[in-house]
Structure 1
Amino acid sequence: MDVWIGSYTSATGGNGTGISTFRRSPDGTLTPDRELPLRSPSWLIAHPSAPVVYATNELGDGVITTVSTDLEVLGTISSGGADPCHLAVSADGRHLLCSNYSSGSLSVFALGADGLITGQTDLVRHEGSGPHPERQESAHVHQAVVRDRIVSVVDLGTDEIRSYELAENGKLDPLSVSAMPPGTGPRQLRRRPGTDLAYVVGEVNGTLVVVREEEQPGTFTQVAVVQATKEPWQGDEPNWVAHLEIVDERLYLSSRNADVVTEFDISAETPVALADHPSGAWPRHFTIVDGTVYVAAQRDDAVVTFPVGGGEQVRYPTGTPTCVLVR
């Protein structure tokens, strides 16, 4: 099993070289393997069946790079906007969706049976703003979540989740707009399997928002709001909340500046924070595999690992990591 690491490179002020890979042993330890020089491949996602990985080159002139599992570049295409920060693939493997943060837009691309991008099929742009003068001066599309043909787009700048239906031809038809509390700055949305509940990362105001998906898919209403960490954040800088994962009845949420991954019990409707686990500096992204948490500690120039539930940390040097993909 390989672990792929995306990074910020010198193109955006980082220390990374591009994509780095590690070999993962049965006990969870990592051994450095290969590197592919690319400009700031900040987000990585694998195709569900074809042997390819897609990377966002998070630049003002945004690019998507398709890479083989042998770490060879297969192609590049404009992302259709500025600073692409997230990718999603439809379950049938026929479409790739790219969130362009700075231009507040979502691009859709058609994929061939081999996973290669065959062209752009649609582009939607959001308009609006939020109360935070610096972070919410305009629309900032941060993530698209795809379930069946429903695409729910998280907009950090407008405090909204905008949902669309993805047609067979790759076009997006508007369905609904769900408002988040003003100043939330939603970054991510994650549904809880087997329920009508979902969780929204409130990056700007340091919260976790619980929402319920209504009978019309893609429409969400607020259930509860809790702080992102067990111990209240009291630092001079804001606590920028980043990434969440769900494992059974536990939710894990990373916070930058607090530099922890907080473990929540989600057996009840309102999450209860159990512990703040130190995770390295600026935990931008993480994944959990076989009881081990793998954290992209961006400002530590390292992947930091520790057991689920907390425990001894192990650090693996790598320049300005931003994303961890295990495949």
Structure 2
Amino acid sequence: MKESFLLGTYTKRASQGIYTVELEDGVLSDVQLVTTVSGPTYVTQSKKGVTYAVTANDGNGGVAAYGTDWSLLNVVGEEGASPCYVAVDEPRQLVYGANYHKGAVTVYQIQADGSLALTDRVVHEEPVGPHKNQDHAHAHYADLTPDQRLVVCDLGTDSVYTYDVSDEGKLTVVTRYQAEPGTGPRHLAFHPNGQTAYLFGELDSTVTSLAYDQATGTFTKQQKLSTLPTTYTDFNGGAAIRVTKDGRFVYASNRGHNSIAVYQVADDNRLSLVEIVSSNGDFPRDFNFNQAEDFLICAHQESDNLVLFSRDADTGKLTVVQDDIVAPECVCVAQIKA
């Protein structure tokens, strides 16, 4: 079966915009530029095949919508830096953006043709953490909980916010989980049971297991583990985190150590380390599975290469299959849904 993936990129050096890559019979190939755009660092796609990408142009940042033929439907932007994360809410036909530089969460309503209209914007103003990179709020992730609330990770305030969302796309804060100072919450991934989430701390390179109470929208810490070997003391920044569909394994990428940490999930949803494997590239910003989850594709921002791993479903361990697929400044790997 042939599967296709979207590749989001920086466009500071060699990249020209959004690319696609194909996976067939255990081989990655055919990296193609599909649209020229500035700074599409995070991309996603709706079930209707409309692609939503962060974008930046002439000092304005926002979210762009592209039709199935890659025609530009519209861009909703504002002065300043673009968001760093974008997600689709299919039931309410909304799109969410998290803006790292502004500490803001934005909500857009999907119009009949797939284009976007801004419906709400929330700026975080809580106290920040002690790390030098926590100079102000830095919203880094905004996506749905299993019970259709919005959860937002803010690296600057060391917080995970839970919001109720109206059908019109208006946000109301429900709870705020306060992580340990200097954690730098970056991304979060839910276990299939809907009652556990795994929070990746960018600044302290940790994964925290959180119990999620759907009745109240609150998170409670259960466990916190490092994603690095105990002997490693150089720079590292946590990046992407994913949970397998069967709920048995969690994967997290390390930028700096240039590796992927693999954890097994116990019956109580706590984690134990399986292995930390080299990502075979420089600065692994993002990775993703194919549909069957027997392969993992890892993107490297600095070495401009994709690495394909095969994945053992029983042990969770990864084995390099390819590491020489050129994808310039790639920082996001997203499954094409349509």
State the TM-score, normalizing by the size of structure 1: 0.92
Q: Does 1:241 align with 2:238?
A: yes
Q: Distance in 2 between matches of 1:146 and 1:312?
A: 32
Runs (4 or more) in structure 1 with deviation over 6 Å come to none
Which stretches in structure 2 are left out of the alignment for 5+ residues? 312-316
| Residues 128 and 157, structure 1, Cα contact 8 Å, conserved in 2 | no
- The match for 1:296 is 299
Q: 1:307 aligns with which of 297, 305, 310?
A: 310
Q: 1:96 to 1:183 in 2, by over 3 A?
A: same
Q: 1:272 to 1:133 in 2, by over 3 A?
A: closer
- The match for 1:196 is 195
- The match for 1:24 is 23
Q: Deviations over 1:163-188 (max 9, x none)?
A: 11100111111211111111110001
Q: Distance in 1 between matches of 2:150 and 2:194?
A: 18
How many pairs align? 320
Q: Distance in 1 between matches of 2:27 and 2:127?
A: 43
Q: Distance in 2 between matches of 1:133 and 1:194?
A: 33
Q: Distance in 1 between matches of 2:319 and 2:4?
A: 23
Give 1:116 shift: 1.9
Q: Distance in 1 between matches of 2:74 and 2:141?
A: 23
Give 1:217 shift: 4.0
CA RMSD of aligned residues (A): 1.8
Give 1:62 shift: 1.3
Q: Distance in 2 between matches of 1:58 and 1:282?
A: 22
| Residues 51 and 115, structure 1, Cα contact 8 Å, conserved in 2 | no
Give 1:133 shift: 4.0
State the TM-score, normalizing by the size of structure 2: 0.89
Percent identity over the alignment? 27
Give 1:113 shift: 3.7
| Residues 202 and 241, structure 1, Cα contact 8 Å, conserved in 2 | yes
- The match for 1:105 is 104
SS at match of 2:21: strand
| Residues 129 and 158, structure 2, Cα contact 8 Å, conserved in 1 | no
**Alignment map for 1:1-327 (pairs within 5 Å):** 1-10=3-12, 14-47=13-46, 49-57=47-55, 61-78=60-77, 82-92=81-91, 94-117=93-116, 119-147=117-145, 148-229=147-228, 231-232=229-230, 234-237=232-235, 239-247=236-244, 248=246, 249-268=248-267, 269-279=269-279, 280-289=281-290, 290=292, 291-308=294-311, 309-314=317-322, 315-327=324-336
| Aligned-partner residue type, residue 303 of structure 1 | L
Give 1:294 shift: 0.5
Which stretches in structure 1 are left out of the alignment for 5+ residues? none
Q: 1:79 to 1:146 in 2, by over 3 A?
A: farther
